[in-house]
Amino acid sequence: MLLYRKMENNKELEQEIIKIKERNKKVELDKSWETSFTRKLSICILTYIVVVIYSYMINSISNIWLSSLVPVIGFTLSTLSLKVLRNFWEKKYIK
C-alpha cells in the first residue's frame, strides 16, 4: 500500500512539473511577443492609421499625413524610454 501511494505521489509530481513547464513556455512566448519589434511596429502602424482616419473624420488638420506621425513618434519614444526607466527601477527596487 505504501509503495502504491508513493507511485501515485510521483505521478502527481510529474504531472505538476509538466504543467509548470507548459506554463513557462507560454509565459516565455508572451514575453517575447511583448518585447518584439514586430509588435511595436504593428502598434505604430495601427496608431498611425487610426489617427489619420480620426483626423480625416473631424477635418481639423490641414496636413493629416504629417500630423498623424506625432502620436506614432510619441509611442515609439515611450517604448524606448520605458526600457531605460525599467532598468533604473529594477536596480533601485529589486535586490
28-37 pLDDT per residue, tens: 988 888 888 8
Residues 24/30, Cβ–Cβ less than 8 Å = no
Query: Does the model's pTM come out above 0.85?
Result: no
46-83 pLDDT per residue, tens: 888 888 888 877 776 677 778 888 888 888 887 776 77
Largest interatomic CA distance in the chain: 83
- Grid cell 526607466 is found at 85
Q: What residue spans define the domains of the chain?
A: 2-93
* Rg value, the chain, Cα: 24
